[in-house]
Amino acid sequence: MATVLMCLWASSAIAQTATSQYQPGTLLSVKPHHETGSTDPSVERFDLAVQVADTVYTVLFTQPAGRIGIQHRAGIQVLVLVKEKTLKSNFLGSSVELPIIDRQPAAQWKKQH
């Protein structure tokens, strides 16, 4: 009986840590980020819609200086780590942690877009 209980406890601990693992996601859209106020025009920012399971996260991506290309990446598969306020991934060859500015069910997002 003790062995069974220990196995159940171990499997529940593993299930609880599974949410802190990288998951596959799909970059659904890339749109220029519209900010109010004065900003540096040389800094390009984009709103990325990334679907992970049944949730679409909109994150703010700042294009690294001298790099181009995120605008043309809609549809690619990426591995992401979803945290409470950020989404961590590897875009354009570098690991980035992006602030989540919106999250909604995928079905609702698709109706709006």
Residue 17 lies in a domain: no
Q: Give the SS3 label for residue 55.
A: strand
Residue 13 lies in a domain: no
Residue 5 lies in a domain: no
Residue 79 lies in a domain: yes
Residue 101 belongs to domain spanning: 22-112
Neighbours of 84 (CB within 10 A): 5
pLDDT at site 38: 55
Q: Model pTM greater than 0.85?
A: no
Q: What is the DSSP string of 64-92?
A: PTT---GGG-TT-EEEEEE-SSEEEEEET
pLDDT tens track for 75-108 = 899 999 999 999 999 876 778 899 999 999 999 9
pLDDT at site 92: 65
pLDDT tens track for 9-57 = 555 444 444 457 999 999 999 999 987 765 677 788 999 999 999 999 9
Residue 14 lies in a domain: no
pLDDT at site 10: 52
pLDDT at site 102: 96
Domain count, the chain: 1
Residue 2 lies in a domain: no
